[in-house]
Amino acid sequence: MADKNSIDVRVANHILNRMGEIGQPPEYGIQLINVGNEEYLDVLRREYLHRLLTEARGSAFKLVQGYFGGGKTHFLHCVRDLAWNENFLTAMVSLSRQECPFDDPHLVYKAVAGALTMPPADVMGMAVRGLPDVLRCWADSHLENMSDEAFNTWYKGTALRIPVRNHNFRRAAAEFLRAYRQNDVQGESILEAWLHGDSVSQADLKRYGVYGIIERSNAFQSLCSMAQLFKGYGFPGVVLMFDEVDRNLSLISGKKLRTWVDNLRQVVDMCGGSELPGVLFLYAVPPEFMRNVVPEYPALDQRLQCPLSMSLRSPQAALIDLENLSLEPGELLKAIGLKLLDVAQVAWDWECNRELQERNAAVLAECMSRFIFESGHRRQFVKVWISFLQTQRLGEESSLTADEAARLITNDRSGASDPEGELAPAVGYNGSEDAFDEDFRDF
Q: What is the 3-state secondary structure (H, E, C) of 54-103?
A: CCCCCCEEEEEECCCCCCHHHHHHHHHHHHHHCCCEEEEEEEECCCECCC
Tell me the C-alpha distance between 205 and 398, whole Å: 69
The DSSP bridge pattern shows strands 238-244 and 89-95 to be parallel
CA 329, 333, 339: angle at the middle one, nearest 5? 145
DSSP-based helix, strand, coil % in the chain, nearest 5 = 55, 10, 35
Instruction: Give the pLDDT of residue 430.
Output: 32
Q: How far is CA 388 from the centre of its chain?
A: 29
Contacts of 338 (CB under 8 A, 6+ apart): 1, 358, 361
Cα 141 to Cα 151: distance, rounded to the nearest angstrom: 13
Instruction: Calculate the dihedral angle through the C-alpha atoms of 340, 344, 346, 350, rounding to the nearest 10 degrees.
Output: -140
Q: How far apart are the C-alpha atoms of 314 and 236, rounded to whole Å?
A: 24
Model pLDDT, residue 96: 84
Q: What is the C-alpha separation between 141 and 394, in angstroms, rounded? A: 48
Q: How far is CA 310 from CA 60, 101, 136, 285, 297, in A?
A: 12, 27, 37, 16, 22
Using alpha carbons, select from 371, 389, 382, 76 the residue that is nearest to residue 240. Answer: 76
- Classify residue 26 as left (phi > 0), alpha (psi -120 to 50) or beta: beta
Q: Which of 419, 412, 423 is nearest to 372 (CA)?
A: 423
pLDDT of residue 325: 85
Cβ atoms within 10 Å, residue 57 = 13
pLDDT for 378 equals 84
Look at residue 58 in the predicted model and tell me its pLDDT: 83
CB atoms within 10 A of CB 315: 17
pLDDT of residue 438: 32
pLDDT per residue as tens, the chain (443 positions): 555 668 999 999 999 999 998 888 898 999 999 999 999 999 999 999 988 777 767 899 999 998 877 789 999 999 999 999 999 999 999 988 877 888 899 999 999 999 999 999 887 778 899 999 999 999 999 999 999 999 999 999 999 999 999 999 999 999 999 999 999 999 999 999 999 999 999 999 999 999 999 999 999 999 999 999 999 999 999 999 999 876 665 556 788 888 988 999 999 998 887 778 889 999 999 888 888 888 889 999 988 888 788 998 899 899 999 988 888 888 999 999 999 999 999 999 999 999 999 999 999 999 998 865 444 578 889 999 999 999 999 999 999 999 999 999 888 654 433 333 333 333 332 333 333 233 323 32
Q: Do 370 and 412 touch, CB atoms closer than 8 A?
A: no
pLDDT of residue 256: 84
Cα 47 to Cα 316: distance, rounded to the nearest angstrom:
9
d(CA 96, CA 249): 7
Instruction: Report whether 286 contacts 18 (CB < 8 A).
Output: no
d(CA 366, CA 333): 8
Largest CA distance in the chain: 80
Report pLDDT for 246: 64
Question: Do residues 72 and 242 make contact, with C-beta atoms less than 8 angstroms apart?
Answer: no
Per the document, the length of the chain is 443
Phi–psi pair at 70, nearest 5 degrees? -95, 10
